Amino acid sequence: MIKKPYLLFVGDVQDAIYAKTAAGVKYWRPEQAAGQFRFPGGVDLGLPDYDMKAAVDAGLKTILIGVAPQGGKLPQNWLDFLMEGLKAGLDIASGLHVRLAEVPELKAAAEKYNRRIFDVRFPTQSFNVGTGAPREGKRLLTVGTDCAVGKMYAALALEKEMQSRGLKATFRATGQTGILIAGSGVSVDAVVSDFISGATEYLSPANSPDHWDILEGQGSLYHPAYAGVSLGLLHGAQADAIVVCHQAGRENVKGIEGYALPTLKDCIALNLQMGGRTNPNITCIGININTSSLSEDAAMDYLKKTEDELGLPCADPVRTGVGPIVDKLIKDKI
């Protein structure tokens, strides 16, 4: 468990769009985003600027790497900053491809000052294989027609909406950005494949009967590279409910030629068919569409048309909120 609140590190990134992780933490966990650190010219997230010493004095606990270095390599000024942070008494949390805990200077400094470095992309615990055994509590999994269609965003929006209705709901992160937002989780696609379902069972353990775990999905059952991860996640989640996510206008698997996306109807049917293996009561309670590429009118048309066609609430978490999906969850007593 990563200690909070965070000092969000945005480096010298000048455009908020490249500080997505930092912006995501600030948006979804504002109470944990207590400060920012940026080099001259770096983007302003609207948080207090701290240097290391001031951050510690203000009670901040962990430097959260909120941007990726250009070219993947760690620049010297990042390294200097991180060393200074460890020395001042801060931990580090990172979702980068490079393992910060194995950068010799950082490793030595963390040992010397007794600090922790969390490389959340790489699970450190070992998991058991899945048991398939039913467990108490309810689980909702966001699934998708493709990668990068808003599954994490949907899960966070559902958690927030459910909590605002007084329901017990906990977001369960399965990817690095989600883990940094939640402060814990399992990067499921980095788990050894024998343990995908087992890791998912670990991530969403038995809970009180009226508690919902809201699991962030990964990939898609239709994705030629990642479907195995998606299926392991679906089986391990033993989902009571799924919400299917899609981006308006996307017709093909992103970055892979020759693979048309399924229709939403087919995607729902296949997820229910496969998910039914570990939870025969699985049901689809709604559709989330990223309509950011559409005008307001076109977006509302799209949502209405999809809703009529499928007979399920259809929302855009940003444009409309996910209220109608939570309405259905409550009304249907799932």
Cβ 232 to a second copy shortest distance, Å: 3
CA angle in degrees (0–180, nearest 5) for 231-146-244: 75
Contact (CB, 8 A) for 321 and 313: no
CB atoms within 10 A of CB 255: 10
Which is closer to a second copy, CB of 194 or CB of 332? Answer: 194
Smaller CB distance to a second copy: residue 230 or 247?
230
Cβ count near 281 (within 10 Å): 11
In angstroms, what is the minimal distance from the CB of 303 to a second copy? 28
Long-range own/partner contacts, residues 323-329 (CB < 8 A, 24 or more apart) = 323/161, 324/286, 325/158, 325/161, 325/243, 325/285, 325/286, 325/288, 326/158, 326/161, 326/162, 326/165, 326/167, 328/285, 328/286, 329/140, 329/162, 329/241, 329/285
Nearer to a second copy, 26 or 223 (CB): 223
Minimum distance from residue 265 beta carbon to a second copy (Å): 15
Which CB atom, from 94 or from 278, has the smaller least distance to a second copy? 278
> Which CB, 108 or 256, lies closer to a second copy?
256
CB of 238 to a second copy, least distance (A): 9
CA 303-334-143 angle, 5° bins? 50
Residues that bind a second copy (CB under 8 A): 129-134, 188-194, 196-198, 221-222, 224-233, 235, 253, 256-259, 274, 277-278
CB of residue 253 to a second copy, shortest distance in Å: 8
